[in-house]
Chain A
């Protein structure tokens, strides 16, 4: 299983763009990069998933360089409600896999 490394915490201010980077040096060919968001006392929620280049949805963008050894979750114009823990996971496509959640990145958005 590919191990991921991400910052323990980040601070930002309302209206700013936030970029959270995750390292996954031993990612395998059939692995996808997946990000989850978790608010206090709630279950994590799927945000975005990608394989290479750039993926964008209504919530975030995910940038993956050509070597796929890292990825960056980009949250545009954050608000106070984006204060949460963000987890980066590497998951295999198809078949059975056991997702492993690390400690994630605790993002605090200030007024």
Chain B
């Protein structure tokens, strides 16, 4: 089965702790994305990567960090500098440079920081 996996589905952390969210895809897609979604809101782009070992900040990158050491993996670290980390986090991937950029999304990780 091809697709995107995110783990864990639910994550609880204490304030002041860094936490890393996992995202893996076996679709052989070049591009990967991280979004944040708050209740009743649309998706806001945190970071995106169009190729291995390269990534760019999205609209709300402050307090987050990413790495792209492998094509299939794009982990997101929520650092203690993120003021309001509690949210629903979505990872996506797409073919880059061809086609019309249809994005495939993972099931999401719901992070709660108290």
- Give the interface of A toward B (CB within 8 A): 32, 34, 36, 41-46, 49, 87, 91-104
* Residues of chain B within 8 A of A101, CB atoms compared: 35, 42-44
Q: Which residues of B contact A36 (CB under 8 A)?
A: 103
Known: A99-B101, A103-B41. 8 other contacts (CB 8 A): A32-B100, A43-B90, A96-B31, A96-B50, A98-B45, A98-B48, A103-B40, A104-B42
Interface size on B, as a range, is 20 to 34
Contact partner of B102 (CB less than 8 A), chosen from A42, A43, A49, is A49
**Which residues in B have some Cβ–Cβ distance to A below 8 Å?**
4, 31, 35, 40-45, 48, 50, 58, 88, 90, 92, 96-108, 110
Residues of A with C-beta under 8 A to B45:
98, 100
Distance from A40 Cβ to chain B, minimum over Cβ atoms (Å): 10
Nearest-Cβ distance from residue A20 to partner chain B, whole angstroms: 15
Q: Please report whether the interface of chain A is mostly helix, strand, loop or mixed according to DSSP.
A: loop
- The 10 A-B pairs with the shortest beta carbon distances in the complex, nearest first, are A43-B105, A101-B43, A103-B42, A101-B42, A32-B100, A46-B102, A91-B101, A43-B90, A102-B42, A44-B105
Are A87's CB and B42's CB within 8 A?
A: yes
Chain A contacts of B101 at CB under 8 A?
34, 91-93, 97, 99
> How many contacts between A and B, using CB within 8 angstroms?
59
Chain B residue with Cβ nearest A92: B101
Nearest B residue to A102 by beta-carbon distance? B42
Q: Which residues of B contact A44 (CB under 8 A)?
A: 43, 90, 103, 105
Instruction: For A8, give the chain B residue with the smallest CB separation.
Output: B40
Cα A36 to Cα B107 in complex, Å, equals 15
17 A-B pairs with CB atoms under 8 Å apart are A42-B107, A42-B108, A43-B92, A44-B103, A49-B102, A91-B101, A92-B101, A93-B101, A94-B97, A96-B31, A96-B96, A98-B58, A99-B101, A100-B45, A103-B40, A103-B41, A104-B42
**B residues near A49, Cβ cutoff 8 Å:** 100, 102
